[in-house]
């Protein structure tokens, strides 16, 4: 009879570090994905490195490609997923690479000072839903590969290209792509008015948390 992984297992401890330590996560170039539906959706396109499941969810792990599959105690799954209540599938994937070339971009969402991973994930999921073509992440933004952000975004950065960089680099990119860099402001143009004409070349929209605006 197979024994389930316990909290002190080296595999569990490594995955907890990937989940909780940004530098370690990016050094390993892997992220933790938690949630049965999300893992099954991503598993149709990407092979996982590790796939962990509880005794009650072993059937759900079948058909998902992974280098290694492990039976784990629910406590381990909760620690790795960084949530108090959880008993689904947990896996690890390669980090999507930052794209230096964002050619032919017309709708670019730029995010700065978004420090809450859950809020960042919601914005990324919304960007995909509204068909923005790429996301630009400025240095003061939370890590989009925090497990909480990945869950909130439903794996958005596996769907949409992203790039990390400074404000100066963003301004150069906008100039090269002829994208006006816009911000939301109470005294700005009312985009809901009949007189509003969107820029023909597209736009880059910069969003920040309210306290940083």
Residue 1: exposed, middle, or buried by beta-carbon count in 10 A (0-12, 13-18, 19+)? exposed
Structure tokens belonging to residue 153: 């975004």
Mean pLDDT, range 132-158, rounded to an integer: 96
What is the sign of the dihedral through the CA atoms of 17, 94, 137 and 131? negative
Give the residue among 51, 14, 32 at the shortest CA–CA distance from 144.
32
Mean pLDDT of the chain, nearest integer: 91
142 pLDDT band, cuts 50/70/90, is: very high
Give the Cα separation of 63 and 32 in Å (integer).
19
Name the burial class of residue 200, with classes exposed (0-12), middle (13-18) and buried (19+) by CB atoms within 10 angstroms of its CB.
exposed
Round to the nearest angstrom and report the end-to-end CA distance of the chain: 57
Residue 103 is predicted with a pLDDT of 77
pTM recorded for the entire structure: 0.88
pLDDT digits (tens, 9 = 90+) for 72-125: 999 999 999 998 888 789 999 999 999 888 878 999 999 999 999 999 999 999
pLDDT per position as a tens digit, 45-67 = 999 999 999 988 889 899 999 99
Model confidence at 1, in pLDDT bands (50, 70, 90)? very low
CA distance 112 to 207: 6
Of the candidates 155, 168, 153, 163, the one whose C-alpha atom is nearest the C-alpha of residue 109 is 163
Q: Where are the alpha helices (DSSP H) in 58-199?
A: 58-61, 74-81, 117-129, 147-153, 167-177
| Structure tokens given for 79 | 């620690």
Average pLDDT over residues 163-170: 95
Q: Write the DSSP symbol of residue 82.
A: T
For residue 131, pLDDT over 80 is answered with yes
Instruction: Count CA atoms closer than 13 A to 80's CA, side-chain side.
Output: 34
Taking each helix axis from N to C terminus, what angle separates 10-20 and 74-81, rounded to the nearest 10 degrees? 20
Q: Comparing C-alpha atoms, which of 127, 153, 117, 145 is closest to residue 41?
A: 153
The alpha carbon of residue 49 and the mean position of all alpha carbons in its chain are separated, in whole angstroms, by 18
**What length is written for the chain?**
213
pLDDT value of position 2: 58
């Amino acid at each position: 009879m197979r024994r389930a992984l316990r909290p002190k297992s080296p595999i569990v401890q490594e995955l907890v570090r990937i989940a909780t330590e940004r530098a370690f996560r990016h050094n390993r170039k892997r992220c933790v994905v938690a949630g049965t539906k999300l893992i099954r959706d991503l598993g149709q396109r990407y092979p996982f490195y590790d796939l962990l499941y509880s005794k009650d969810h072993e059937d759900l792990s079948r058909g998902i490609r992974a280098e290694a599959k492990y039976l784990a105690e629910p406590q381990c799954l909760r620690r790795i997923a960084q949530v108090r209540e959880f008993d689904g599938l947990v896996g690890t994937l390669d980090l999507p690479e930052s794209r230096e070339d964002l050619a032919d971009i017309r709708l670019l969402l730029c995010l700065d000072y978004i420090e809450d991973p859950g809020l960042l994930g919601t914005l990324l999921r919304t960007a995909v839903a509204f068909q923005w073509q790429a996301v630009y992440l400025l240095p003061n933004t939370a890590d989009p590969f925090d497990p909480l952000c990945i869950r909130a975004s439903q794996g958005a950065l596996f769907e949409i290209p992203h790039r990390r960089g400074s404000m100066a680099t963003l301004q150069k990119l906008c100039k090269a792509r002829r994208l006006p860099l816009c911000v939301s402001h109470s005294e700005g143009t009312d985009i809901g008015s009949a007189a509003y004409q969107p820029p023909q070349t597209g736009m880059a929209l910069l969003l920040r948390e309210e306290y940083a605006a």
